[in-house]
A and B are shown apart, each in its own frame.
Chain A
């Protein structure tokens, strides 16, 4: 190698190279993606263009029109959830409805709801069994308790995120900006409910199973290397609808509503039944209430 690459020429060449790369990417995706702002700092018109870009990209991947919304939180709404343990039979209908609604990875299985089976008479999460598989449920001598993101009012996962990719929205839903998540999984370590799941692989969702009605902070398809979790079906809840698990439960054990509305179902639960929250002693203040309507 001759030393004909002088300092001056090197700088010229690199400047050219950078300019060429920039020109090549400025209309494309890589450049935009790399210099994307935090979702919370985007202006409304920026969000609109950004969502359009995502919609086109998803439409290309899944071969059909896609909708990615970013419906903001409603005023004077804080979502709360009630689950009637005296009714739950552990049929996992909520799990399959959630998978259908929220586009988690199928080939490497990701599920946001875990239904834990425990012996009656003891409440020991250490000894709980999520892989139970009897012919029929309910089983004698056992009860089941579904666990998903508890949407803590004091969420430890948010506290530990080093890049502020996860935060609590004004309506109390803890969300993740998948584009901003660096995949360090610190939030997973911080969550005492094992609610967060990590995409170790590029998630695969069959084209005919993908839900094309999505929310940016919720059920839009994720990518490899990001964390995801239950968002109280943010794409449904913010449109006024019940979550998918509420509508799927065959025994009506799941209740959902606005904690600030004294006439809501969830407030009726809090006013009239014995209620507890999971791992209350950790001071996470979950907005997910387990209750007993019988006894």
Chain B
């Protein structure tokens, strides 16, 4: 649920919207990676030769592909090998992290359609006016997107010595 926690502290109304039309169309919080302190990735990766080999990552041990095409995909299926501060669509187009929904939407087309309509995922703000979309990675870990189980809030207190009426 770490990603979920990020979403809570996410600063809404991202200023990057001027740079991209899609971000203005779907005002979102920043994706987790932009808040993590690791960004921009080119700080380290600029001088490194991209290694496409499938391996366990020593510097990013938290990144493990799990239940997300681990047999088919590896870093450069989504990340741009030449420009590490961007993602890469299947047709080679570079997209900034703030528009990562376009990347995810390539495979998850149904979900993408529902997300655009405000059904998949959640939005906050106004039901009739300005709202903030949550980006895919504000709730899902992109490398292991299935939700982790969550501790529930305490149960209501059971009334004692009363005949319990059921719904």
Contacts and interface: CB of A to CB of B under 8 A. Distances in A.
A-B interaction? yes
Interface of A: 77, 84, 89-93, 95-96, 109, 111, 114, 116, 125-126, 128, 130-138, 147, 193-194, 237, 240-242, 246-247, 249-252, 254-258, 261, 264-265, 268-269, 272, 293
B117 interface: yes
A258 B126 CA distance: 11
Nearest to B113: A272
A136 B150 CA distance: 5
14 contacts: A89-B147, A91-B152, A92-B152, A92-B155, A133-B155, A136-B152, A242-B125, A242-B126, A242-B127, A246-B122, A250-B150, A252-B139, A264-B127, A272-B114
B122 A252 contact: yes
B156 A109 contact: yes
A254 to B, nearest CB: 8
Contact of A252 (B134, B151, B152, B158): B134
B127 A114 contact: no
B155 A125 contact: no
Interface string B138-160: 01000000010111111111100
Contact of A257 (B127, B139, B166): B127
B165 interface: yes
Contacts of B147: 89, 251
State the main secondary structure of chain A at its contact with B.
loop
A247 B156 contact: no
Contacts of B166: 125-126, 128
A81 to B, nearest CB: 10
Interface residues on B, range: 20 to 34
A272 B126 CA distance: 22
Given A91-B150, A252-B134, A258-B128, 9 more contacts: A95-B156, A96-B153, A116-B167, A147-B167, A194-B167, A240-B128, A241-B126, A242-B127, A272-B117
B121 interface: yes
A115 to B, nearest CB: 8
A91 B119 contact: no
Interface string B107-128: 0000000100111111111111
B4 interface: yes
A89 B148 CA distance: 11
Contacts of B134: 252
Given A134-B152, A194-B167, A242 B124 contact: yes
Contacts of A249: 122
Nearest to B126: A240
B36 to A, nearest CB: 20
B114 A293 contact: yes
Contacts of A269: 119
